[in-house]
């Protein structure tokens, strides 16, 4: 299973799919074949592994998979049926598939006489697939909220200028985070004020191979001359003020991860709505003062109602500090 999780890590981070790995073992425990899912529309990990074997070579084997084999016809056929047809005798997987349209592969294989074992290294698989699993279970994208601020919590100077608060290393890390999410979310006010390109770029300014879909939230129209109009993936505007409805639209489009690089208003709305799954806070060793705080009203009227954070990690990026944190749900 550990090897299957390693194989799963080779799959693309973004896209409407889970990263899954599979290992086919002979009755004597030797490895017959390995596979992983290379993205939406490509063979699933089990089928990828079986494709490396001659017909009949998998008879009596054990398939070790990081996620319950699927039981539905999508862009590809059911993996449960592929394993049954291949003559696999035993299937070991880590966690059940949470999607009601996909779940059921285990029962189907058991009904066909296959010995099915689940829960092997389940905690490791849950951690590995955390973002995708949370998105499927909650019916909305995983949302990473990012901001860059001075040590006194300001995102701009008193005159509104904000470029650049952090150094080159922190800014490049942000571009890598953009490439690791399906979409990037900003408010229409940010588009009008900053005219961001919302692309993921490398050290030399080149476009990275993976680009997030820009999503503009708000009623104000995006100007025809705005940089986002020239984004290689186009952009999506979610008009209005209904945040849950906008997230539902994104989820139905197969978007499982969103990086929010919004201003204080939208950032605060995401936190206040309880949909900020992770915070990436880039802190520069500078003081700015002034009115432009990173977070506005999040519904804290008194100190007893303060929102507590759990710091997951701290990382030094040149002169800056990256704090990766989660909201402490046990106190909300």
| Nearest of 236, 268, 233, 232 to residue 249 by alpha carbon | 236
The DSSP string of 198-221 is ---B-TTSPBPS--PEEEEESSSP
Active site residue 46: yes
Residues facing 39 on adjacent strands:
none
The DSSP string of 41-88 is TSPPHHHHHHTTS-TTTTTT-EEEEEEPPP-S-SSS--HHHHHHHTT-
In the set 6, 34, 46, 219, the catalytic residue is 46
User: What distance in Å separates the CA atoms of residue 128 and residue 277, rounded to the nearest whole number?
Assistant: 15
Q: Is the CB of residue 289 less than 8 Å from the CB of residue 329?
A: no
User: What's the length of the chain?
Assistant: 332
User: What distance in Å separates the CA atoms of residue 131 and residue 129, rounded to the nearest whole number?
Assistant: 6
Q: Is the CB of residue 238 less than 8 Å from the CB of residue 128?
A: no
Q: Is the CB of residue 127 less than 8 Å from the CB of residue 259?
A: no
Dihedral sign for Cα 316, 321, 324, 325, please: positive
Q: Would you name the residues annotated as active-site residues?
A: 46
């Amino acid at each position: 299973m550990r090897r299957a999780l390693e194989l799963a890590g080779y799959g693309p981070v973004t896209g409407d799919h889970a990263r899954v790995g599979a290992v086919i073992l002979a009755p004597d425990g030797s490895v017959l074949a390995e596979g992983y899912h290379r993205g939406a529309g490509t063979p699933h990990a089990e089928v990828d592994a079986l494709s490396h074997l001659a017909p009949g070579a998998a008879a009596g084997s054990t398939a070790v998979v990081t996620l319950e084999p699927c039981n539905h016809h999508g862009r590809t056929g059911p993996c449960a049926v592929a394993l049954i047809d291949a003559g696999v005798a035993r299937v070991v997987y880590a966690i059940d598939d949470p999607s009601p349209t996909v779940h059921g592969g285990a029962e189907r294989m058991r009904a066909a006489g296959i010995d099915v074992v689940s829960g092997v290294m389940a905690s490791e698989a849950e951690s590995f697939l955390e973002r995708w699993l949370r998105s499927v279970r909650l019916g909305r994208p995983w949302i990473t909220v990012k901001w860059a601020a001075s040590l006194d919590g300001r995102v701009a100077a008193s005159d509104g200028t904000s470029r650049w608060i952090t150094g080159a290393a922190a800014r490049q890390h942000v571009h890598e985070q953009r490439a690791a999410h399906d979409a990037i979310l900003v408010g229409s006010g940010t588009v009008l004020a900053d005219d961001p390109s919302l692309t993921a770029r490398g050290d030399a300014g080149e476009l990275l191979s993976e680009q997030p879909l820009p999503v503009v939230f708000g009623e104000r129209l995006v100007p025809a001359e705005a940089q986002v109009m020239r984004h290689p993936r186009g952009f999506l505007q979610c008009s209005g003020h209904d945040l849950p409805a906008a997230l539902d639209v994104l989820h139905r489009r197969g978007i499982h991860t969103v990086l929010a690089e919004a201003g204080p208003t939208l950032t605060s709305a995401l936190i206040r709505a309880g949909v900020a799954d992770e915070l990436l806070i880039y802190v520069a060793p500078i003081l700015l003062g002034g009115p432009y705080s990173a977070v506005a009203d999040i519904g804290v009227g008194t100190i007893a109602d303060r929102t507590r954070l759990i710091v997951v990690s701290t990382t030094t990026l040149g002169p800056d500090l990256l704090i990766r944190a989660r909201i402490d749900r046990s106190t909300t």
